[in-house]
Chains A and B, each alone.
Chain A
Amino acid sequence: EAGVTQFPSHSVIEKGQTVTLRCDPISGHDNLYWYRRVMGKEIKFLLHFVKESKQDESGMPNNRFLAERTGGTYSTLKVQPAELEDSGVYFCASSQSEKQYFGPGTRLTVT
Chain B
Amino acid sequence: DQQVKQNSPSLSVQEGRISILNCDYTNSMFDYFLWYKKYPAEGPTFLISISSIKDKNEDGRFTVFLNKSAKHLSLHIVPSQPGDSAVYFCAAGISSGSARQLTFGSGTQLTVLP
A residues contacting B by CB (< 8 A) are: 4, 6, 31, 33, 35, 40-45, 48, 55-56, 58-59, 91, 93, 95, 98-105
Residues of chain B lying within 8 A (CB to CB) of residue A59: 101
With A42-B4, A104-B42 already in contact, the answer to whether A98 and B104 are too (CB < 8 A) is: no
The 5 closest A-B pairs by CB, nearest first: A102-B43, A45-B101, A43-B104, A42-B106, A104-B43
Residues of chain B lying within 8 A (CB to CB) of residue A102: 36, 43-45
With A41-B106, A91-B43 already in contact, the answer to whether A98 and B99 are too (CB < 8 A) is: no
Q: Using CB atoms, name the residue of chain A closest to B87.
A: A40
Residues of chain A lying within 8 A (CB to CB) of residue B41: 104
Interface size class of B (residues with CB under 8 A): 20 to 34
Q: Which of B99, B102, B106 is the one whose CB lies under 8 Å from A100?
A: B102
Residues of chain B lying within 8 A (CB to CB) of residue A42: 2, 4, 89, 104-107
- Give A18 to B99 CA distance when docked, in angstroms: 29
Nearest-neighbour CB distance to chain A for B7, whole angstroms, equals 12
Interface residues of B in 16-69 (CB under 8 A from A): 32, 34, 36, 41-46, 49
- Give A100 to B89 CA distance when docked, in angstroms: 13
Q: Using CB atoms, name the residue of chain B closest to A103.
A: B43
Interface residues of B in 94-114 (CB under 8 A from A): 95, 98-107
Residues of chain A lying within 8 A (CB to CB) of residue B98: 55-56
Q: Which of B2, B34, B100, B104 is the one whose CB lies under 8 Å from A31?
A: B100
Residues of chain A lying within 8 A (CB to CB) of residue B34: 98-100
Contacts A/B (CB < 8 Å), 13 sampled: A35-B102, A41-B106, A42-B89, A44-B104, A45-B102, A48-B100, A48-B101, A91-B43, A99-B46, A100-B46, A100-B102, A101-B46, A105-B42
Residues of chain B lying within 8 A (CB to CB) of residue A56: 98-101
Q: Using CB atoms, name the residue of chain B closest to A91.
A: B43
